[in-house]
Amino acid sequence: MALEALGWALVDERRAERLLSLTGLTPERLRHGIAEREVQAAVLEFLANHEPDLISAADALGTTPEALVAAHRSLSQ
C-alpha cells in the first residue's frame, strides 16, 4: 500500500516536494529504501497528517482513509 501511496504522491510535483520536505527523505532514500518499514511508514504518515491528501490518495488507490492510517500504524510498531 505504501508503494502505491508513494506513486500517487509523486505524480504531483508540489506534493512530491512537500513529501520530501516534511519527511526528510531524499529521492535516493526513497528509491533504495521503499522496501523498508521505516520509509513506508514515513510515506503513509505524510498522508495521514494532511487530511485532503489522505482522502484523495485513498480515493485514487481504491481504499479508505482508515485503511491507509491503519497501514501506517501497523508499519510504525
Of 74, 29, 30, nearest to 48 by C-alpha is: 74
Express each pLDDT in 25-47 by its tens digit: 999 999 999 999 999 999 999 99
The confidence score (pLDDT) of residue 75 equals 97
Cα angle value 44/38/18 (rounded, 5°)? 45
Q: What is the mean pLDDT of residues 67-76?
A: 97
Q: Which domain holds residue 38?
A: 2-76
Q: Tally the domains of the chain.
A: 1
- Angstrom distance (rounded) from CA 65 to CA 20: 21
